[in-house]
A = this chain, B = another copy of it.
């Protein structure tokens, strides 16, 4: 089962000749989740041969143009290629009026519904659940209401040890009951606790997107043990003042969040165009959290299945 993130854009507000502004795609079990949608997102999707018709859910962190200006173009293109199914957009409420106004102005005869889900950026809550994947909002601290997103696989029902199925001659009904957490009672009054029967073949995987934000300790608990963490690192440590002034983080701060939350891997991006090379930012992060990567447009990060035993 695929669980991988593609970086469509990794610049901050000013795109460069090699970096488009913010957009990621999470492929979770062949469902595509688009996270932020800056100008040029549809071109990057084409470039990377990602089938945009498979995107049904778009998560927008905040209203700023370098995270949203690709929405109208993408929706217009989906319309032209004949989409019929609903498109869901999860974003802070204040984006809705502007988006609706632009869709009306720029698109003739929209052939599908765009359903806007207003999220509350100051709350940590589950905002999406399709039975396989959940998405939690992550309160971020920026100049405008901003939310990060934590994507998690849901646990399937556990497996049951084959040898015990034979030993106790379990019926299908009994297997189902045990999978749903019940102990086993046989006709002789024997009780075998649930935990002896069940095991999980793999652990749910997770990916968190935190952009744009000041350093926020509140994230540490919410991101506990996340497998792949994207945390913005707009500035180098020496530009901490500028980071504070503009509502952004330094590379060192991103790494500190990764370390404190027990993240398995950190990817940093949203780099200011002032840095000719992002290597110094990467080095600053690595001093605190070794398993850090400075992302580039077009990179793909797989989160492998975590098998037990």
Contacts and interface: CB of A to CB of B under 8 A. Distances in A.
Contact of A13 (B49, B65, B76): B76
A276 interface: no
A17 B102 contact: no
A43 B47 contact: no
A107 B66 CA distance: 11
Given A14-B81, A73-B65, A106-B69, A20 B43 contact: yes
Interface in A216-242: none
A16 B46 contact: yes
A80 B72 CA distance: 22
Interface residues of A, number: 31
Interface in A60-102: 63-66, 69-70, 72-73, 76-77, 80-81, 98, 101-102
Interface in A35-52: 39-40, 42-43, 46-47, 49
Given A39-B70, A40-B40, A73-B69, A15 B106 contact: no
Nearest to A42: B15
A90 to B, nearest CB: 19
A168 interface: no
A72 B65 contact: yes
Contact of A76 (B65, B70, B81, B101): B65
